[in-house]
């Protein structure tokens, strides 16, 4: 928890410094003052509304127990087993099978699964996936993940602002400054996510989720299905989705293009092998 809190503070400070640098570069003293206000507002939004940003990127809506009785039953059982509060449950209309958890803490947590996931997995496999996502909540790594995603979204947005406000002297286009920032800020956003999110967190969530459910092979089977489904139905690599992709249980993109810069997922084969070893398999 201490390390995640420190990384969150560093991320928020890094965003503020970047906004101040861009504001001073583009607008001098006036730009610096405006940038200071924007930096404070952006940090507040990233911290308090990061879960809403991620859920909005996936067009997710909160569902009731009447709509999704199986999901509620599984999450309630696992939450009671872990002696933790029940998170909010969301469904994304996305046909690609995937899932993620977001929020600042267990009391503000939300777990989202896609429509495609509900159609692909059997109850045991779904239990494995939900155990994995709840483990992200209980391991306290959803705060830094959620904030990193929100900051990446905002940095990408800054690159679009630079196009309009970093124009050339004759106002015929974005000019050199705007074009340069467009090229630089996207990789900067990806770099902030990469530095904040360790690939080991997925291994940790796999292990603790499998211990929570008592069925590592169910999660291994789910991961195989999810990877195949994600490859068959990759998500479009727009800025909102790429900034939230690190929170998902599997890489939602095709593995090429801009989205690969944000990849923080270890190979599925390695994750499956570790889970099989937990179940007593020897290769």
List residues with catalytic annotation.
133
Place of tokens 């939300």: 110
* Three-class secondary structure assignment of the chain: CHHHHHHHHHHHHHHHHHHHHHHHHHHHHHHHHHHHHHHHHHHHHHHHCHHHHHHHHCCCEECCCCCCHHHHHHHHHHHHHHCCCCCEEEEECCCCCCEEEECCCHHHCEEEEEHHHHHHCCHHHHHHHHHHHHHHHHCCCHHHHHHHHHHHHHHHHHHHHHHHHCCCCCCCCCHHHHHHHHHHHHHHHHHHHHHHCCCHHHHHHHHHHHHHHCCHHHHHHHHHHHHHHHHHCCCCCCHHHHHHHHHECCCCCCCCCHHHHHCCCCCHHHHHHHHHHHCCCCC
Rounded distance between C-alpha atoms, residue 209 and residue 127, angstroms: 9
Q: At 145, list the tokens.
A: 């993940």
């Amino acid at each position: 928890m201490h390390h995640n809190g420190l990384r969150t503070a560093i991320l928020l400070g890094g965003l503020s410094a970047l906004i101040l640098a861009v504001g001073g570069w583009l607008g001098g003293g006036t730009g610096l003052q405006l940038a200071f206000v924007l930096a404070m507002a952006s940090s507040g939004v990233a911290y308090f509304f990061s879960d809403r940003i991620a859920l909005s990127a996936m067009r997710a809506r909160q569902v009731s127990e009447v709509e999704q009785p199986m999901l509620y039953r599984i999450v309630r059982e696992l939450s009671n087993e872990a002696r933790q509060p029940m998170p909010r449950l969301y469904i994304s209309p996305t046909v690609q099978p995937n899932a993620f958890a977001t929020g600042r803490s267990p009391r503000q947590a939300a777990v989202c699964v896609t429509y495609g996931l509900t159609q692909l997995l059997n109850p045991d496999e779904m239990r494995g996936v939900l155990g994995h996502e709840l483990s992200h909540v209980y391991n306290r790594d959803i705060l830094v993940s959620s904030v990193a995603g929100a900051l990446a979204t905002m940095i990408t947005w800054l690159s679009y602002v630079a196009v309009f406000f970093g124009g050339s002297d004759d106002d015929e286009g974005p000019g050199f400054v705007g074009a340069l920032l467009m090229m630089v800020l996207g990789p900067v956003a990806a770099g902030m996510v990469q530095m904040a999110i360790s690939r080991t967190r997925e291994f940790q969530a796999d292990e603790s989720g499998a211990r929570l459910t008592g069925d590592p092979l169910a999660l291994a089977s789910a991961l195989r299905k999810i990877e195949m489904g994600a490859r068959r139905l990759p998500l479009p690599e727009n800025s909102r989705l790429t900034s939230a992709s690190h929170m998902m249980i599997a890489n939602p993109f095709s593995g090429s293009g801009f989205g690969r810069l944000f990849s923080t997922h270890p190979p599925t084969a390695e994750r499956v092998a570790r889970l099989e070893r937990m179940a007593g398999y020897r290769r």
